[in-house]
């Protein structure tokens, strides 16, 4: 059991209520959960249906998603459950927001995930006006996080932004630097955006997230299990992160940029190849569960 709680809230990065329960037993608490179309496609019941030849219609997929988050919702604490809209590269802000509003009503502690794209940011702008809580996902740059801040300024609820650490590492860049840069930039802000470390692949990512004082971290069950079996280590005062990739290669640093958070959000350069690739991957995983005609 976790006796010394970190300041960082711990969320499970997954799509299976049984797994969340297992982690909760192991840790004694789970502050929240994040889901996404790839994780929902991997849910054991959905996988079983597909294996037995029963692909889903898009309505059935949505119903399954709702059931999954409704089962997770009461298990977790006040960081809530993040639910992702189904968006491809052509989905408009209005379409995302309409899904978001519907999903937000599924559970009392929902956060709606929109991608860090122009349309996703517009959807976030609409959402915060209606007090629909948001988690801006597929964030790979400090500029995107700057735009999230500016687009959601005035939100009555905390807004989450999710920098994806592991996917930057995958292409040889130091994903932890993006988290660090965003935290530094937000020191000049009003605190309405909380940083949620995501795509956490190993214990060092987790410990660095703690050391950087991120407000939240979403972590796969297997990394949390490793943390538990290692007796819940915490970063020492002189903790330094070794920026090496999965193959031991040194990761390229990502430099800090001076950005003015008071600029209009549309003026930030939010383009990032990994955001588009991430959307395409979510679409592919989502479609893999659907009937051909759906
Ligand atoms: O929280 C985001 C996460 O689900 C993505 O992780 O390992 O697919 O990059 P990964």
pLDDT tens digits, one per residue of 129-147: 999 999 999 999 999 999 9
Q: Which of 11, 14, 167 to mutate to test the pocket of ligand 1 (most atoms within 8 A of CB)?
A: 167
- For the entire predicted model, the pTM comes to 0.96
Pocket flag, ligand 1, residue 167 (CB < 6 Å): yes
Pocket flag, ligand 1, residue 135 (CB < 6 Å): no
Contacts for 254 with CB less than 8 Å, ≥ 6 apart: 142, 168, 173, 174, 177, 178, 181
| pLDDT for the residue 294 | 43
Which atom, in ligand 1's list, is nearest to the CA of 201?
Answer: 7
Residue 116 dihedral angles phi and psi, to the nearest 5°: -80, 65
**Predicted confidence pLDDT, tens digits, the chain (294 residues):** 888 899 999 999 999 999 999 999 999 999 999 999 999 999 999 999 888 988 899 999 999 999 999 999 999 999 999 999 999 999 999 999 999 999 999 999 999 999 999 999 999 999 999 999 999 999 999 999 999 999 999 999 999 999 999 999 999 999 999 999 999 999 999 999 999 999 999 999 999 999 999 999 999 999 999 999 999 999 999 999 999 998 899 999 999 999 999 999 999 999 999 999 999 999 999 988 887 644
CA–centroid distance, residue 212 to ligand 1 (Å):
19
Pocket flag, ligand 1, residue 198 (CB < 6 Å): yes
Helices (H), the chain: 17-27, 37-41, 44-51, 58-72, 93-104, 118-129, 142-151, 165-170, 175-186, 203-211, 221-229, 273-287
145-173: pLDDT as tens digits = 999 999 999 999 999 999 999 999 999 99
- Residue with the smallest CA separation from ligand 1 atom 6 is 199
3-state secondary structure of 188: coil
């Amino acid at each position: 059991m976790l006796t010394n709680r970190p300041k960082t809230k711990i969320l499970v990065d997954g799509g299976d209520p049984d797994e969340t329960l297992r982690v909760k037993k192991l840790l004694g608490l789970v502050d929240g959960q994040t889901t996404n179309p790839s994780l929902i496609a991997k849910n054991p019941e959905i996988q079983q249906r597909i294996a037995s030849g029963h692909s889903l219609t898009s309505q059935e997929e949505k119903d399954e998603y709702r059931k999954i988050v409704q089962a997770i919702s009461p298990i977790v604490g006040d960081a809530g459950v993040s639910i992702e809209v189904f968006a491809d590269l052509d989905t408009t802000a209005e379409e995302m927001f309409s899904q978001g509003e519907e999903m937000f009503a599924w559970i009392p502690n929902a956060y709606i995930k929109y991608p860090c794209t122009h349309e996703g940011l517009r959807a976030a702008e609409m959402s915060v006006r209606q007090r629909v809580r948001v988690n801006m996902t597929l964030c790979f740059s400090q500029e995107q996080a700057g735009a999230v801040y500016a687009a959601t300024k005035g939100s009555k609820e905390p807004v989450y932004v999710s920098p994806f650490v592991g996917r930057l590492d995958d292409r040889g860049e130091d994903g932890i630097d993006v988290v660090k840069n965003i935290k530094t930039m937000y020191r000049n802000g009003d605190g309405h955006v909380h940083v949620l470390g995501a795509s956490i692949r190993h214990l060092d990512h987790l410990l660095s997230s703690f050391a950087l004082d991120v407000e939240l971290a979403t972590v796969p069950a297997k990394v949390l299990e490793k943390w538990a079996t290692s007796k819940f280590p915490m970063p020492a005062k002189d903790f330094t992160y070794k920026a090496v990739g999965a193959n031991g290669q040194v990761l390229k640093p990502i430099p800090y940029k001076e950005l003015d958070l008071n600029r209009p959000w549309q003026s930030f350069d939010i383009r990032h190849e990994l955001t588009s690739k991430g959307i395409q991957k979510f679409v592919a995983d989502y479609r893999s569960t659907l009937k051909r005609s759906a």
